[in-house]
Amino acid sequence: DPWNRLDFTLLVLMFVAPNAKSMRVLRALRPLRLIRRMERMRTIMSALWKSIPMILSVLILSCFVYLIFGLIGMELFMGRLDYCNDISKDRYGCVGEFLNSVDVLTPRAWIVPNLNFDSLYDSIFTLLQVVSLNNWSNLMYQTIDSTSEYGAPQKNANPTASLFFILVIVISTFFLLNVFIGVIIVSINEEENIELLTEDQRNWRELRKQLANVRPRLYIPIPEGRFRAMVYHIVESLWFSLFILMWIILCLCFLVVRHRGQPDWLTEALDILNIVVVCVFTTEVAMKIFAYGGKAYFSENWNRYDFT
């Protein structure tokens, strides 16, 4: 019984190091023994434990969402949030001194804010600040007033920038959060229903769940013609899929290493590698269209996505 193992583990921890400061924190686990005596809590804990794989899948999805929004933020706002303490000046005019709002002579200084989109790390960190809903509106107004890299801000110069932040908040705060909650609720409901079933009924329920997840794959017959058949076997092979996967990962790495102020040699290298990646993906699509035929290729949603 897992609950017996939990009780035994807690008891062993009480005797192993009862006075060691580093182990005293484990005393906080003693209330877990109450769960064994509370049927409802046992059901919830069991459901949470079984929902961990689905929660990890949602977590991976969330990481991809933040990665995509981070890259979009870099494209839209890299270098555009910097400003001079004399807001009427751009980067090249931010020299000398000026009279501030209280008529004090102050040296001009070019300021790079802590929240920016100058690299992927900074971009994702800024997005986490946005989805926390803590002072996110000030950042949005900064982007609305942004003009260009090293340019002086102007009021409402870029009002469409607000759509980016609204989209981030809607997808992250509402959609992804609800997915997390939904996974846990579904696991709890399933756990409660399973407890009322016999062993055979549980097996039958599990079999139905597996059958519901089965999706038939569109069968594309081997085409006529020796050369087309050879290309067909190439694109259907495992090593070809791994080869394309390797280039997808490399493409992601190229996007990650890009940052503001990068050396010229890195910019040139990334431009060349981008051309190579486009050629590889174009060759992949061309080979599949040639092997499968246009109608069979575009009948699958993921193929249409790759082509787009």
pLDDT tens-place string over residues 176-223: 888 888 887 777 777 666 655 566 766 777 777 777 666 666 667 777
The predicted pLDDT at position 193 comes to 65
Residue 105: predicted pLDDT = 85
Paired tokens of 255: 């996007």
Classify burial at 153, counting beta carbons within 10 Å of its beta carbon; exposed 0-12, middle 13-18, buried 19 or more.
buried
Mean pLDDT lowest among 3-7, 161-165, 246-250, 279-283: 3-7
What tens digit of pLDDT does each residue of 282-299 get? 998 998 888 888 888 888
Q: Which residues pair with 105 in a beta bridge?
A: 99
Tens of pLDDT, residues 113-146:
888 898 888 999 999 889 888 888 889 999 998 8
Cβ count within 10 A of residue 46: 19
Q: Give the single-character DSSP code of 29.
A: G
Q: Is the pLDDT of residue 71 over 60?
A: yes
pLDDT at 167: 92
Q: Confidence band (pLDDT; 50, 70, 90) for 164?
A: very high
- Amino acid 90: pLDDT: 83
Number of neighbouring beta carbons within 10 Å of residue 215? 5
As a whole number, the mean pLDDT across the chain is: 81
- Segment 167-178 mean pLDDT: 87
Q: Using CA atoms, how far apart are residues 275 and 222, in angstroms rounded to an integer?
A: 32
Q: How far apart are CA 57 and CA 108, in angstroms?
A: 49
For the stretch 92-112, pLDDT in tens is 888 888 888 777 888 888 888
Residues pairing with 110 in the sheet? 84
Indicate if the pLDDT at residue 18 is higher than 60: no
pLDDT of residue 217: 66
* pLDDT reported for residue 201: 66
pLDDT for the residue numbered 100: 80
Give the whole-angstrom CA distance, residue 239 versus residue 197: 45
CA 251 – CA 247 distance, rounded (Å): 6
The predicted pLDDT at position 127 comes to 92
Q: What is the mean pLDDT of residues 37-49?
A: 73
Q: Which long-range contacts (CB under 8 A, 24 or more apart) does 279-288 make?
A: 280/244, 280/247, 281/244, 281/247, 281/306, 284/235, 284/244, 287/231, 287/234, 287/235, 288/235
